Structure 1
Amino acid sequence: MPTHARVRADACPGVFATHDAADGPLARVRLPGGAVSAAQLRALADCAQACGDGDLHLTSRGNVQLRGVTRPGLAARLTDAGLLPSPSHERVRNVLASPLSGLHGGLADVRGLASSLDRRLCATPELASLPGRFLFAFDDGRGDVAGEGADVCWRATGPSSGTLLLAGGDIGRRVSLSDAVPVLIDVALEFLRVRGSAWRVAELDDPAWRGTPVPRADVPVPAGMISASAAGVVPRFGQLTADDVRALASFGPAVVTPWKSLVLPDVPADVFERLGFGGEPLGTSACIGRPGCAKSRADVRADAVFRPGLRAHFSGCERRCGRPSQSHVDVVAEAGGYRVDGRWVPFDELKGTL
């Protein structure tokens, strides 16, 4: 039986079920494993300009959002670009994969596992009823996405071997790389059979769904040149203009990370000179704040403090939307100032405090 009774409907936004934000409807486009081709990047840039506010907003699950979607045609454009393969499953295609897998580090190459799982997911009618917050993950052994709160995760222990994590706990079940996709699909089907009103695995009482918690790895966000040909691009607040996206597309495919950044797998050494942005790590993040969110008490992005070594998240209210899973300074807007890690600080002292 679930430990929590959900009394309201699952309202995770998608393309057909948008979120009614203060700046207009918000649509979320799932990118399993964060993988997106150059052609799809250009299509997303076109969607942002034709249907939304002109920008793309990266999310903490390696997806993208369009805000202010007040003009028609988004679903048709995404379908044509191969970004909406199954309308019935579009909100449940939540899959993370280690962004640098096969490029730099890691024990196993998990590239391709996310797309393989996505195909099986979309081909299984029952899985369309998964909650929109249910999350799959494939970790190549470095521990980067294993700590991102996935309901079910395969984590590599060697080039072709791995272990099964449920809600971040190792249940002691060893699974080969070749079996990773079908096993994760089977777990999702079993969750549907026992979930009751639960949205997440962590809400189930049954001890069979509990494992030994795996300490999260403090893995830095990929930024700058990662190898001779791979680069990490970190846009401020994970926000990109349509022109920024087209510039990224000129270098080929990309991987959107769970840290509101991108990895470009095959680029020249002067990529950042040509882009003009994104080459430095940014420790500060923020929710959309005012005026985009009616619940926000402040324009947190205007107030956000950036300095080397500072890892902080600015939130407009207690919901703390978009906060990173890594350790950070918690900064929440209140009347006349901010609460910084629980201590109220007047606005005029904020920069000095951080």
Structure 2
Amino acid sequence: MTTAPAIGRRRLSRGTTRRLLPVLLDLALAGVICVAGFTTLSGPLQVLEARAVALVLGWLDPTWSSGVLPGHVLLFRGDGEIIDAVVTASCSSVLSVLGLVALTAVVLRGRRLHALGGLVVAVLAVVVLNHGRLLLSALAGLQWGEGALVLFHDWVGTVWNLVATLGGFLVMVWVTLPAAERAEQDVGGRHTARRPDSWARPGLGYRTVEAEQPPAHSRRTTVTGLLHRHVLPRRLSAWLAARREAARVDYRLGHLPASRRVERVHELAADGLGAHSATLVAVATYEVDPLVLDALADAVAARQWEPVTGHRVAALRLWARGWLLARPVSTSPVPEDRTGDDDAAVVAVARIPVPQAAPSRGTTPSPDRPSHAAGSPTPHSFARPSAPHPPETSR
């Protein structure tokens, strides 16, 4: 009898539990936001919205309404009828606002400041649209009586509230997610970034020949650009720009010839390893030309004095050390007319062998595991292999 199926089921159950735990935590977070937010914000938001409706009606005609009662709007018709319009929880925008907050905290929290900006814009849009719904309901009551107010609130207002919530969600997603130029995808989902074929890895994407488009020369005006030019201080704007540049990968580097890539790597490293850390890590990850990799390793090794300011800089230091230790002592000469388009040249990195247990006396080594002979090109460690000794001649 074997226990393999039971072990497999146990491992599958553990993996499923690990995947379900974050989902359950997100659902619990959304529930806490909705319950706690409704208990805290429902009453004050109803009072605020009723006061806003009475204020706008007072601007139109001071004899139409009164907001003397918190959460109520008193409507005075011309025939002497007084309608007491109560802003209940279903009339308020608190449910839509809390739904957007929960979605931002659970789904879009990875965007951080972008998600916060999108949430602020969406909440303002939902509150303004709900205020328009309440205002139109009050005007319908003033014009045609209490029945028209209830009819507008129950039918038109319900559809209005649904459309307003959906519109607020779309606005939040539009503000939160990156623009089409940064997403580097067209409407059909094809990648449009100018990336080399050697870096065509899953998730990175690259531009094919038929998908290339002429670059746009017009400068697009964005809210972020206006803030950086006219609102934010220069020091803060420069710090944010440097932080954004450090996390950006310049895939245009891969289209240059090998000699130009070497120069560009030295230029990027001269600004500091932390200034273009994402691009340098991408070069170390996806570059296949040994000359470019040697240039990157030498540039990183030449800046040992630079402090480690992030995980990418630490990764570059570790990679450069391993590359320099595993690099052969002598390399084959490279022709001068090399253009760098031959991406087939790859340097084999030495592997650290797994230590095997010493064989006992009287046993012979296994034939399928031959030992490395003297002068084998594969080193036994990451240390630089020494040059082979000349054979001794007998006297």
Give the TM-score category using the shorter length.
Answer: under 0.3
TM-score for both structures, normalised by structure 1: 0.19
Larger radius of gyration: 2
Which is bigger in relative contact order (C-alpha 8 A, separation at least 6)?
1
Task: Judging by fraction of residues, say which structure has more helix.
Answer: 2
